[in-house]
Chains A and B, each alone.
Chain A
Amino acid sequence: MRTRPIPPALFAAVAIVTAGTARAQGTVSTQGFGYPPGQISAAAAALGGGPAETDAQSALNPAAIAAWIRPGIYVEYAPEFRTVDANGQSDHTTTSRFPLMSGAITIGSRITAGLSVSTLLDRTWETSRSGFDHFPSDSVQFTENFKVSGAINDVKPAFSVAVLSTLWLGVSADVYSGDNNLTILRTSQDTTVRTFSQQSRLSYSGVGASGGIMWQPGSQLAIGVSGRLGGRLTAYRNDTVLTRATAPKRAGAGITFTGLPGVVLAFHTDWDGWSSMNGLGQPGLLITNTWTYGGGVEFRGPSALGAPIALRVGYQHRGLPFLVNSSKIFESSYSGGLGFLLSQGRSRVDVSLVRASRTGLPGVTEHAWTAEFGIMVRP
């Protein structure tokens, strides 16, 4: 919108009224507050998220940390190579993520205490485009760059107690923290036009609580069920409260079957109540609750380094929480991976490769390769 002239007395009012809003981010997956990596380990990701409810390293079911058995730590690195096709053009981007770190210690024979830090929503993206500014006397080309980096993270201290020899109960707090660093840079080759830059930082804090059970009705079956209640989630600019909402609830269940020789079958489903975050963003930000279904198979492969290699394949389908132009976005992922046991089973290296397709917005397709590397060490 261009206006001229504006009476001087109206400057302030004009400025306030016309302060722009921004909702979209140049990609399908990083809409709104960002992309949810899933809070699951590389091994679980290779299996389509199937064992997420019974996986010790994943950060969903606090009861599952009992599966650590011994004290240990786990670190995951997951760069994503994304391609967005739209308007006959393609963007190829690389985003580095460290989506999950977790660890646990055992307290006696029945209690396990754990701590995980995982990415709930990763809002890292950058767009760059050119256009023309039409000034009163001429037109000047500009390049405009919007960049955001940061995430809302979930810090989860958890306890798991073996109430029976086959039943574990777990509870955890969910402490949300993180920030988004935002930068706008608008430049022009024309020396009569000054560069516009704006930097700001949003930070987030909030709380929630999770609980779960893990039940092993037989030696060949494990069932996990967990849920999370959301507390208050607040967005700040500097020390000013911008918005408040409720952290998203979730509920999930999963089953892992090991009854076939050398084969592990796992399946899970998850419901995320993202819509409770309505109000945290600007009015008009569309957030939807999502379902996730996924599963996979792990085969015992040939041996290397003195232990069998785990061969994993999986598939997952889920919705993404933030809508684009009122369209729901869905993600379908095929995955595969390898697991290497080290140190006589005390440590493990997982390598997973996930091919995701994100659809739902006509005319725009997004595909991504995500390589996930997880290292678990149990001294």
Chain B
Amino acid sequence: MLVSRKPGRTLLLLGLLVAVATVVGACQENLAGGAACPSLCPDTLTVKDVVLSGSDAFDTMTNVVGVPPLGTEQHLLLANYVQGGDSVQTAAILRFDSLIRILPDTDTLAAPKPITRVDSSGVKITVIAPTDSTRDTILVPDSVTFLVFDVDANAADLDTAAVHAQLGTPPIASRVVPRDSVKGAISIRLDTGWVAEHVRDGKRIRLGIRIKTAKSTQLNIGSADGGLPATLFYFGFSDTSKAFTQRNVNTHTTGSPPFSSLADYDLVLKGTPPPATGILAAGGIPGSRAYMRFSVPSALIDSSETIVRANLILHQLANVQFGTADTTDSVLLQVGVVQASPGVTNIAAATLLAAPPTSLGVTGVPTHNFHPDVARADTIPLVGVFALWRQQGPRRSQRAIVLESTGEGSEPRQYLFYSNTAADSLKPRIEISFIPKSGFGLP
């Protein structure tokens, strides 16, 4: 056995060792325990569930059909196809209400001279390539015949029925474009006499464009709102001069406010039928959105309770129109959070003022891969949206969401849901779970 000759030094070292070991061991606190729970632990938090439906959950629930609104399309759909046994046909309406009717004289001091003759007239459209380049041959499988119609009708600006009727008349021009050439700018010649008459007589030109194909075809052309307006062009001749002129789509509406966006728009000739009464719809051609404004008590959203889960339960109807998931591409259901203030009473306008949850910093509201052709109960988690509403307070925005399809305006399939008028078991409901403020504090 070894015994130190200097026990004092040994004890000193021992003390130092204990000190160092302890300081090192305790340099970081580790407080977490739980083995003795529940007998020694705080009472667990109490989670409470509330299920609200009908007017207890929603004060407004309606469809807004026609999204995007007429004339605000970022591109114009030209469709002529059959999907799932149902056909889709659309036309693009191009307005040229203002034409170039005079040319400057060669003598710059002389007044401009009216155009008396035109030549080489036509309309130029721009075909927008699909984002996925592999789809252009799928969407345009064969040569395409572009048909141009004179759709000038003596009707109100928003009276599309009169325009629709004009599309049944014989076309005034056409052009067959091979499949491989259906891309970029495409010019369709117009009868110069017809154009010259409109130029000379001060008439407006309003054209409708459809496609005729042997196989199902759909393509998008540029729009004024999308930055690629169609153009009317021609050589104009006056007594003393000639010039090449072109004019983008434009319109002069008589109503108020002026609908300058009506310079071009999409017209659905055959598309998704409107939903039945009492049914909420999302998606389709024309696009629909379901607007749902919540009436969840402020005592729940704005109080000291913390909502930890809020699931919207919707009962979906099987909608097999335009095919099933087995035969078509998938569409997704997504939630938009309405950002319109409570003062906006126009629901259609409020519906357009909806933002994706992620753009508002809300996570956990996924885009759902629900199939429109399946009858089922869908669950949409909205706890992040409720947290946003609590953070914003009741006056900043409506407590409403819109349901929309990723195929809105371009894919005819439509999600259908039972609304508040359905039987109790099928009504939309919101399942809210919340935790009251804990009394944790004073022992």
Q: A11-B50, A87-B35, A136-B49 given; name 7 further pairs at CB < 8 Å.
A: A8-B52, A11-B305, A12-B299, A26-B42, A91-B33, A137-B311, A324-B39
Q: Which residues of A from 183 to 211 have beta carbons under 8 Å from B? A: 184, 186, 191-196, 198, 200, 202
Q: Which residues of A from 278 to 317 have beta carbons under 8 Å from B? A: 280-282, 285, 301-305, 308-309, 311
- Asked if A2 and B39 make an inter-chain contact with CB atoms under 8 angstroms apart, the answer reads no
**B18 at the A/B interface (Cβ < 8 Å)?**
yes
Given the known interface contacts A11-B300, A18-B436, A86-B40, the answer about A94 and B26 at a Cβ–Cβ threshold of 8 Å is yes
Given the known interface contacts A191-B363, A196-B435, the answer about A23 and B19 at a Cβ–Cβ threshold of 8 Å is no
The 4 closest A-B pairs by CB, nearest first: A79-B26, A22-B42, A304-B8, A91-B33
In the assembled complex, which residues on chain B have CB atoms less than 8 Å from the CB atom of A86? Answer: 35-36, 39-40
Of B26, B31, B297, the contact of A8 (CB 8 Å cutoff): B297
**B439 at the A/B interface (Cβ < 8 Å)?**
yes
For the complex, what is the distance from the CA of A146 to the CA of B364, rounded to whole Å? 25
- Asked if B48 and A18 make an inter-chain contact with CB atoms under 8 angstroms apart, the answer reads yes
- Asked if A302 and B7 make an inter-chain contact with CB atoms under 8 angstroms apart, the answer reads yes
B residues within 8 Å of A by Cβ?
6-9, 11-12, 14-15, 18-19, 22-23, 25-26, 28-52, 56, 296-297, 299-300, 303-309, 311, 313, 363-364, 366, 379, 381, 383-384, 387, 431, 433, 435-443
For the complex, what is the distance from the CA of A145 to the CA of B33, rounded to whole Å? 9
Of A25, A128, A136, the contact of B51 (CB 8 Å cutoff): A136
Whole-angstrom distance between the Cβ of B9 and the nearest chain A Cβ: 6
Closest to B363 in A: A191
What are 10 A-B pairs with beta-carbon distances under 8 A?
A6-B50, A25-B41, A79-B22, A79-B25, A86-B35, A133-B47, A135-B49, A194-B387, A340-B15, A364-B39
Of A8, A136, A349, the contact of B56 (CB 8 Å cutoff): A8
- For B32, B44, B303, B435, which residue has the most chain A Cβ atoms within 10 angstroms? B32
- Asked if A303 and B8 make an inter-chain contact with CB atoms under 8 angstroms apart, the answer reads yes
In the assembled complex, which residues on chain A have CB atoms less than 8 Å from the CB atom of B11? Answer: 301-302, 304, 309, 311, 338
Whole-angstrom distance between the Cβ of A143 and the nearest chain B Cβ: 10
- Asked if A127 and B438 make an inter-chain contact with CB atoms under 8 angstroms apart, the answer reads no
In the assembled complex, which residues on chain A have CB atoms less than 8 Å from the CB atom of B47? Answer: 2, 133
Whole-angstrom distance between the Cβ of B408 and the nearest chain A Cβ: 25
For the complex, what is the distance from the CA of A90 to the CA of B33, rounded to whole Å? 8
- Asked if B40 and A21 make an inter-chain contact with CB atoms under 8 angstroms apart, the answer reads no
- For B33, B46, B307, which residue has the most chain A Cβ atoms within 10 angstroms? B33
- Asked if A198 and B8 make an inter-chain contact with CB atoms under 8 angstroms apart, the answer reads no
Closest to B50 in A: A6
Given the known interface contacts A25-B41, A186-B45, A242-B442, the answer about A91 and B35 at a Cβ–Cβ threshold of 8 Å is yes
Given the known interface contacts A11-B299, A18-B436, the answer about A196 and B40 at a Cβ–Cβ threshold of 8 Å is no
In the assembled complex, which residues on chain B have CB atoms less than 8 Å from the CB atom of A364? Answer: 36, 39-40
**A5 at the A/B interface (Cβ < 8 Å)?**
yes
For the complex, what is the distance from the CA of A27 to the CA of B41, rounded to whole Å? 8
Given the known interface contacts A4-B49, A184-B440, A373-B22, the answer about A124 and B31 at a Cβ–Cβ threshold of 8 Å is yes
- Asked if B34 and A128 make an inter-chain contact with CB atoms under 8 angstroms apart, the answer reads yes
- Asked if A184 and B439 make an inter-chain contact with CB atoms under 8 angstroms apart, the answer reads no
- Interface hit among A28-36, A162-170, A223-231: A28-36
Given the known interface contacts A191-B364, A194-B308, the answer about A26 and B41 at a Cβ–Cβ threshold of 8 Å is yes
Given the known interface contacts A4-B49, A21-B439, the answer about A96 and B26 at a Cβ–Cβ threshold of 8 Å is yes
Whole-angstrom distance between the Cβ of A274 and the nearest chain B Cβ: 13
- Asked if B8 and A147 make an inter-chain contact with CB atoms under 8 angstroms apart, the answer reads no
- For A33, A93, A192, A198, which residue has the most chain B Cβ atoms within 10 angstroms? A192
- Asked if A26 and B33 make an inter-chain contact with CB atoms under 8 angstroms apart, the answer reads yes
**A131 at the A/B interface (Cβ < 8 Å)?**
yes
Whole-angstrom distance between the Cβ of A262 and the nearest chain B Cβ: 14
Of A85, A96, A237, A371, the contact of B441 (CB 8 Å cutoff): A237
- Asked if B18 and A15 make an inter-chain contact with CB atoms under 8 angstroms apart, the answer reads no
For the complex, what is the distance from the CA of A9 to the CA of B299, rounded to whole Å? 9
In the assembled complex, which residues on chain B have CB atoms less than 8 Å from the CB atom of A15? Answer: 299, 303-305, 436-437
For the complex, what is the distance from the CA of A198 to the CA of B442, rounded to whole Å? 14
For the complex, what is the distance from the CA of A198 to the CA of B56, rounded to whole Å? 28
- Asked if A126 and B33 make an inter-chain contact with CB atoms under 8 angstroms apart, the answer reads yes
Whole-angstrom distance between the Cβ of A235 and the nearest chain B Cβ: 6
Given the known interface contacts A191-B363, A301-B8, the answer about A282 and B29 at a Cβ–Cβ threshold of 8 Å is no
For the complex, what is the distance from the CA of A129 to the CA of B303, rounded to whole Å? 27
**A109 at the A/B interface (Cβ < 8 Å)?**
no
Chain A's interface size range is 35 or more
Given the known interface contacts A26-B34, A26-B36, A94-B29, the answer about A192 and B381 at a Cβ–Cβ threshold of 8 Å is yes
In the assembled complex, which residues on chain A have CB atoms less than 8 Å from the CB atom of B12? Answer: 304-305, 309, 340
- Asked if A94 and B7 make an inter-chain contact with CB atoms under 8 angstroms apart, the answer reads no
- Asked if B306 and A93 make an inter-chain contact with CB atoms under 8 angstroms apart, the answer reads no
- Asked if A202 and B441 make an inter-chain contact with CB atoms under 8 angstroms apart, the answer reads yes
Closest to B34 in A: A129
In the assembled complex, which residues on chain A have CB atoms less than 8 Å from the CB atom of B307? Answer: 194
- For B43, B313, B443, which residue has the most chain A Cβ atoms within 10 angstroms? B443
- Asked if A22 and B438 make an inter-chain contact with CB atoms under 8 angstroms apart, the answer reads yes
- Asked if B33 and A84 make an inter-chain contact with CB atoms under 8 angstroms apart, the answer reads yes
Closest to A25 in B: B40
For the complex, what is the distance from the CA of A303 to the CA of B5, rounded to whole Å? 12
Of A145, A192, A308, the contact of B311 (CB 8 Å cutoff): A192
- Asked if A24 and B442 make an inter-chain contact with CB atoms under 8 angstroms apart, the answer reads no
CB-CB contacts of A86-109 with B at 8 A, as 1s and 0s? 110111111110000000000000
For the complex, what is the distance from the CA of A11 to the CA of B34, rounded to whole Å? 32
For the complex, what is the distance from the CA of A28 to the CA of B39, rounded to whole Å? 10
- Asked if A281 and B442 make an inter-chain contact with CB atoms under 8 angstroms apart, the answer reads yes
**A219 at the A/B interface (Cβ < 8 Å)?**
no
In the assembled complex, which residues on chain B have CB atoms less than 8 Å from the CB atom of A6? Answer: 48, 50
- For B296, B435, B442, which residue has the most chain A Cβ atoms within 10 angstroms? B442
Whole-angstrom distance between the Cβ of B274 and the nearest chain A Cβ: 32
- For B8, B30, B37, which residue has the most chain A Cβ atoms within 10 angstroms? B37
In the assembled complex, which residues on chain A have CB atoms less than 8 Å from the CB atom of B300? Answer: 8, 11
Whole-angstrom distance between the Cβ of A110 and the nearest chain B Cβ: 36
Of B305, B363, B381, B441, the contact of A200 (CB 8 Å cutoff): B441
In the assembled complex, which residues on chain B have CB atoms less than 8 Å from the CB atom of A129? Answer: 34, 37-38, 41, 44
**A19 at the A/B interface (Cβ < 8 Å)?**
yes
Whole-angstrom distance between the Cβ of B363 and the nearest chain A Cβ: 7
Closest to A15 in B: B436
- For A8, A18, A200, which residue has the most chain B Cβ atoms within 10 angstroms? A8
In the assembled complex, which residues on chain A have CB atoms less than 8 Å from the CB atom of B56? Answer: 8
For the complex, what is the distance from the CA of A279 to the CA of B180, rounded to whole Å? 88
**A344 at the A/B interface (Cβ < 8 Å)?**
no
Whole-angstrom distance between the Cβ of B423 and the nearest chain A Cβ: 17
- Asked if B31 and A93 make an inter-chain contact with CB atoms under 8 angstroms apart, the answer reads yes
